[in-house]
Amino acid sequence: MSTISTEEQREKLDLAQNILGYRFENEQYLLSAITHPSAIEGKPVKHSYERLEFLGDSILGAIVSDAAFNAYPELDEGGLTRIKVSLVSGASLSRVAEELGFADFIIFGQSEQGTGRRGLHSALENVYEAVVAALYLDGGIDPAQGFVSRTLITQMSADMALEPENPKSALQEKLQEEGITPTYKLVETQGPPHDRTFITQVYAGIQELASGVGRTKKESESQAAASALDMLLGNTPEVKLAKEAQRAAKQEKKAQVRAAKAAAKAARAAEKKSKKEAARSGGIQE
């Protein structure tokens, strides 16, 4: 039985179902999945995403494992594990959830409102897993699998099976070319003791290069190093967008040249045909 009681809940449920492309028979599953623990203070834990997150983590792992197992029959256990870990990592899930617009329908409590929702990164990851569980409970494995396939499996690649390069080591090698050693500083810790999120900044001397977020200090440092490498190597979203724009411009120019050649060819053919018809017409008159 649904316990939808506020206008905010109704609006966010409708938005969530539109984004998911699925209508729930029991909307309570979805309501719990999109409700942050800060919004249910004094209520049973089942009314937030915490229990669903536990179930969704296992279902998500099984779906991704099945997809990788069937897509790459030549890979050994180690390669398949690396693909799974890469896809279901906190950074991956939170990024996908953010791109889908999950941040717009998560229900936060008063303690999180007005803080800039500092725990949003962790919440996005948790809600993604909870949504997988909600879909499974409401409609079985098919809607859950369909959702994961559309939003996450499409990003799976064989490159994820490769032995990962340590971003911190790679960054250190890059900076030491200029005689600089990177340093890391933990700047913020979010969440309760059982669900910590760490934010770390990496510096080159006194210059801040980038920040990273992770469920452990080590993961946050690794994410910061990876972001710094992207910046130094020109792989930031802004640079990628500029490169894509340049490629698009080149393709458009080539298309214009081809179109001009085709038009010129058509004009010559039309002129030739016109001359032939004129010649035939002149012969008939004579």
Domains annotated for the chain, with CATH where assigned, are 7-161 (1.10.1520.10), 167-232 (3.30.160.20)
Average pLDDT, the chain: 84
More confident: 200 or 256: 200
pLDDT at residue 19 in the model? 95
Percent of residues, the chain, with pLDDT higher than 90:
43
More confident residue, 23 or 227: 23
The one catalytic residue in 27, 53, 57, 138 is 57
Q: Among 129, 138, 219, 221, which one carries the catalytic annotation?
A: 129
CB distance 132 to 153 below 8 Å:
no
Does 129 qualify as catalytic in the annotation? yes
Write the DSSP symbol of residue 191: S
Report pLDDT for 2. Answer: 46
3-state helix, strand, coil in the chain (%, to 5): 65, 10, 25
pLDDT in tens, 220-233: 999 999 888 888 87
> Residue 176: is its pLDDT beyond 80?
no
Q: Which of 40-44, 166-170, 220-224 has the lowest mean pLDDT?
A: 40-44
- 57 is a catalytic site residue: yes
- Mean pLDDT for the stretch of residues 83-98: 88
pLDDT interval class at 44 (50, 70, 90): low
Contact 119, 191 (CB under 8 A): yes
**Of 192, 220, 202, 183, residue with least CA distance to 91:** 220
With cut-offs at 50, 70 and 90, classify the pLDDT of residue 117. low
**For residue 170, what pLDDT is reported?**
82
Of the listed ranges 106-110, 114-118, 208-212, 214-218, the one predicted with least confidence? 114-118
**What is the secondary structure of 117-177 as a DSSP string?**
-TTHHHHHHHHHHHHHHHHHHHH-HHHHHHHHHHHTGGG--GGGGSPPP-HHHHHHHHHHT
Nearest by Cα to 20 from 37, 33, 9? 33
pTM: 0.59
